[in-house]
Amino acid sequence: MKLLKPWILVLVGYLLIKFGTPLAGSILHPGTWPVVPSSVMKMFVFFMVAGALLVYSFSEEGYDETIAPIVDLYTKPGRGGLRIGVILAVGFLGAYVAYQYVKPTFDAPVELRSVHPAPPSAAKAWGKSYNLQTLKNPLRADTANFAKNSEEGGKVYYQNCYFCHGDMMLGKGPYAEGFNPLPANFVDIGTIAQLTESFVFWRISTGGPGLPSEGTPWISGMPVWHTLLSEDEVWKVIIFLYDYTGHKPRVTAPKKH
Ligand code: HEC
């Protein structure tokens, strides 16, 4: 019977945390019933089990008693059936836990992802370093060739970006469904309409791997385009993105001196 003691203690502790905490919360803040997150619950139960085992196996006598059922199970004759049962159960439990961990899920991760994280001050691409604070689209000044540049940007778009971002730039290309986060919808005012061209340049040339840690935990499928396109092609596709959607790139106000 002594053996049951640690487990009764653990059970009492569990019930106290599970129901005592919300009860205390509801008394302190009437009308609420705060729940204990399951991760915290797991941690408490782990520490309670470990603590109870430590305390009860501290003396030699206690130790023998604590492990007695295990020793019995493995050494007593006539327990063969139970022994096999326990070994199989432990194996299946391990398999079940492992399966739960790796099982794919279609739910969005609970953590939030910053869609437009603050860009680094400098970005590396094509073996060069770009200062994103001062970087401008060199093709903007070339108004004479604007239509031609936009048309060439369109070619770059339909040969490379269309598959994910879609023929109408709504982020609904044939491969789009396979990504989480979904490819950006450039028509929506939440994307390029509120970004500077240097930000867009940074995002295109360094892709998902270029995102800082705030851009995680969802793994962005946006490719690293500086390895596949030329710098000129990226500036052209940016001209095309704004030209097609009718959005104006965001401009940063000139610094007051
Ligand atoms: C394999 C699919 C895929 C292809 C191909 C692709 N993208 Fe993306 N792109 C994504 C995904 C997914 C996101 C959203 C996640 C993110 O922000 O990184 C994204 C995001 C972006 C963003 C960021 C928009 C914002 O609001 O921050 C830009 C700009 C962009 N893509 C431009 C392009 C351009 C230009 C091309 C072609 C040269 C291209 N993409 C090709 C998947 C793709």
Taking only the tens place, the pLDDT of each residue in 54-87 is: 888 888 888 888 788 888 888 888 888 899 999 9
Structural domains in the chain, CATH included, are 4-102 (no CATH), 122-245 (1.10.760)
Average pLDDT on 137-154 reads 94
220 or 157: whose pLDDT is higher? 157
pLDDT in tens, 190-239: 999 999 999 999 999 999 988 888 777 778 899 999 999 999 999 999 99
Mean pLDDT rounded to a whole number for the chain: 89
Q: Which residue ranges have their beta carbon within 6 Å of ligand 1?
A: 116, 160-161, 163-165, 175, 179, 181, 183-184, 191, 200, 203-204, 208, 220-223, 225, 237
In one-letter notation, the amino acid at residue 206 is: T
Q: What are phi and psi of 110, to 5 degrees?
A: -75, -30
| Radius of gyration of the CA atoms of the chain, in A | 30
Question: Relative to the CA of 208, which ligand 1 atom is closest?
Answer: 18
Out of 137, 155, 162, 164, give the residue to mutate to test ligand 1, the one with the largest number of ligand atoms within 8 Å of its CB: 164
Angstrom distance (rounded) from CA 225 to CA 237: 11
- Could you count the other beta carbons within 10 Å of the beta carbon of residue 117? 14
What integer pLDDT is reported at residue 193 of this predicted model? Answer: 92
